Amino acid sequence: MSPVPQRDFAKIDTWVFDLDNTLYPHHLNLWQQVDVRIRDYIANFLDIGHEEAFRLQKDYYRRYGTSMRGLMTEHGMKPDDFLDFVHQIDHSPLEPNPALGAALEKLPGRKLVLTNGTSRHADAVMQRLEVHHHFEGVFDIIAAELEPKPSPRTYNRFLARHGVDPGKAAMFEDLARNLAVPHALGMTTVLVVPERTREVFREDWELEGRDAPHIDHITDDLPGFLAGLGR
């Protein structure tokens, strides 16, 4: 069987980025704060211990795409309080990233964020990185009608909302499984892995798929990778 040809960036006019652990490096552990607050919310909501809450959190995340979706499906939870609680975090570990800003500036076309988080959280992250002015819009979990990536319906809603031609779009993500649908739709896919290492403490299922045919490119240096494209 012939290898699947790697897609390039020659016709790309729309650049789509996941937010957490993609626009900023994994080692900053910003998402860890959200992770802890999700566990705390589950413990309080279900009146269970933190160990059991952690188990459910990871089980729902794996099976439903987000822990929130699992809580909604399994327990009828209303999402508003959950979203407000879990994103009340300290964004101060994030610092301005002029290299990322300069690279984004040189990319031809639109830049958009597609995240399973909230637009409020996305705005806070982009403001801290000082890259907010490069982005035309944010498609968040509310715009996705609370249906997270990797649901095909979420990508289709995103494409329709922003008028994106998938054949002329590139998607940057830190989870390989979230790139399968974009690739099937025709997008060029880039997996963003932790800096200077490919062996980090993450769930095995999160690391699966790095060598899958739906991954066109892999980088551990997003600003450097984008700068190369801009040239």
Across 185-192, average pLDDT: 96
Across 76-93, average pLDDT: 92
Identify the DSSP state of 5: P
Q: pLDDT tens digits, residue range 128-156?
A: 999 999 999 999 999 999 999 999 999 99
- Whether pLDDT at 205 is above 60: no
Identify the DSSP state of 49: -
Give pLDDT, residue 5. 65
Q: Give yes or no on whether 14-25+94-230 and 31-86 have one common fold.
A: no
Q: How far apart are CA 181 and CA 172, in angstroms?
A: 13
Across 94-121, average pLDDT: 96
Tokens describing residue 23 = 């626009």
Give pLDDT, residue 201. 38
188-192 sheet: strands from edge to edge: 137-139, 110-114, 14-17, 169-173, 188-192, 217-219
* Beta carbons within 8 Å of 35's beta carbon, 6+ residues apart: 57
**CATH class, 31-86 region:** mainly alpha
Give pLDDT, residue 229. 92
Domain 14-25+94-230, CATH: 3.40.50.1000
Inter-helix orientation angle 222-230/98-106, to 10° = 30
- Whether pLDDT at 199 is above 50: no
CA distances from 189 to 23, 115, 119, 151 (A): 15, 15, 23, 16
How is the chain split into domains, by residue range?
14-25+94-230, 31-86
Confidence of residue 29 (pLDDT cuts 50, 70, 90): confident
Q: Where are the alpha helices (DSSP H) in 47-118?
A: 50-64, 67-75, 79-86, 98-106
Across 105-110, average pLDDT: 96
